[in-house]
Structure formats: structure tokens, C-alpha cells
Amino acid sequence: MSNTVNLFSPQWEDYELMDTGGFEKLERFGKYLLVRPEPQAIWPKSLPPEEWGKAAAVFRRENGSPGDGERGEWKLGAGMAQQWQINYRYGNMQLRFRLGLTTFKHVGIFPEQAVNWNYIYDTVCRCSEACPQTLNLFAYTGGASLAARAAGAEVVHVDAVRQVINWGRENMEASRLSGIRWVVEDALKYVGREVRRGRRYHGIILDPPAYGRGPAGEKWILEEGINELMAQCRQLLVPQQSFIVLNLYSMGFSPRVAENLVEAYFPAIKGECGELSVCDRAGRRLPLGVFMRGTL
């Protein structure tokens, strides 16, 4: 059985969770304050309304409900940019991300994942292989891919949306990195082909959504596809001196779900599972997902 831990996003200069409550969160990304919906923040806010009123952009869903996952629009204040950049540093790793306001409230990074970026960077640095092969599935704009590449890995970055692949490439160039292989593809189809090709990887990172569509309209439902995906990943991962990171964002999943899933396919894994959280200024812990990660 793995260790159970709660991981908190490290404090970093260009990001801060300032307050949570009333189904919202107040965040600072670089010099801009943003208000975004947060369905788990059911408690009252700590900061006064005038502090929340300093936000440069506020996201409102089309139907105005406190639920998550719907489209919406941003209400912009004076001087708010549509795009801007922020930095993240850890040890010798220096990453730079281009942020932007999307119709699904996302801005281009998930700050709670910084602890996994650190883990991936450290794990790749310790790998005995000169250029360990790393596969990042459902890879979005590439924070984990950049961390692995910064540590010296050969990285294959797979996502079904060409726009976010292009976004990830921008982040790579802004971070003064190169050499990541960008693949616009359905994750399940891609790993199936890699198995047939006889490919092997020293690290696999998975961040599957609850629902999604592939570039050719392929339907992804987590509960229906995750076991086939994990079975394929078992054939791709080198059985020794390798690592795996699984993130799950579906509401209601406990860390034990991630742990049981990974250990079913990688029984020899040694690692940890838990919640990914961020603390606001009042010290309240906002859980934002669960994970399982470890080495073989």
C-alpha cells in the first residue's frame, strides 16, 4: 500500500490563492487578480468585498450556477490583458508560461500541479538513463512536459486539441527549451499504436479528464476508458527504474481510487497518493484533485 499524503502547491512569486469562499476563488497570476468559480468553496469568504473588487477579470458562467464545467465569459476591468506571461522556478528549472482567458474559465496552467512538476523534475534527474523517454498523455499546455524536458528527458506530449498543443509549444520556447515531440491525437489510440510499435518509456504522466473528445470525434469517458488505457500503459512502461504519475479531477474520487487503479496494473510500485491542494491566505486548504505517483 502506498503512503497517503496531502500535497500543497509551493509558494511561488507569480501565483497566490488569496481567498476562497462563496463558490469562488480569488487568485493572483503575475500582476493580475482573477475571480473564478470554485464549486468546492462552500464556506464564506475571508477577505472583504473591496479586496475581491480589485480583480482585473471575473469569470461568470452562462447560467450563473455554482456548478463547474460550463462555458461562460470574462468581465474585464481596465488594463486587463488577454494574454500575459508568468514564471515558475524550482532548483535549476526555470519555466515560463503564457496565460490567457478561455471560455471554460481556465487560464493555461493548474497551479496545484507545481508539486508534480517538482516531482517529475527530481525523478528524471535521478534516472540512470542519459535521456529517459517520457510520455505525457492528456498533456494540456505542458507544465509536466516542460519539467521532464528541463531535467533532460526525451518527451512525447499528447493532447487531442491542436490549440493547446500550440500553446504548449509557446511555453516550451518561452522557457528556452526545445526538442519536445508534439502529437495531436486521441490518447487511447496513440498508446495502442505505441504498444504495437514495441515502444518503451521510463516515465508516463496521465491527466485524463472525466469527459473529452479526440481530434476525430473519439469519445472519452473516464470510467469507461481508463482501464484499457492503464493496461496499455503497463505494456509501455519499462518495468524497472521508471515512474508513473496519475492525476484525477473527477468530483467525488478519493485518493484511494487513484491508488487502487495504479496498483492494479503496477503492483510493484512504491509511491504515494493523496489530494492536491492550495492554501489561501486564511490557511484554508482547497482540494483540487487527487493523485497517485511512484517508481518501479
What backbone phi and psi angles, to 5 degrees, belong to 74? Answer: -95, 135
- So what's the pLDDT on residue 69? 52
Q: Consecutive 10-residue runs of the chain (296 residues): their mean pLDDT? A: 67 94 97 95 97 95 59 89 95 96 92 96 87 94 96 96 96 98 96 96 94 83 92 96 92 87 96 94 94 95
| pLDDT on residue 64 | 55
Cα torsion 62, 68, 73, 78: sign: positive
Question: What are the CA-CA distances from residue 97 to residues 84, 142, 167, 168 (Å)?
Answer: 8, 9, 9, 9
- For the domain with range 109-295, which CATH number is right: 3.40.50.300, 3.40.50.150, 3.40.190.10, 3.40.1130.10? 3.40.50.150
Fold of 12-83: Immunoglobulin-like (2.60.40)
Query: In terms of DSSP H, where are the helices of 76-152?
Result: 114-126, 143-150
Q: Where are the domains of the chain?
A: 12-83, 109-295
Distance (Å, whole) CA 9 – CA 277: 6
pLDDT of residue 15: 96
pLDDT computed for residue 70 by the predictor: 67
Determine contact, residues 41/21, Cβ cutoff 8 Å.
yes
| Angle (CA) 253 258 259, round 5° | 130
Residue 176 CB-density burial (10 A; 0-12 exposed, 13-18 middle, 19+ buried): exposed
Nearest to 85 by CA among 35, 121, 31: 31
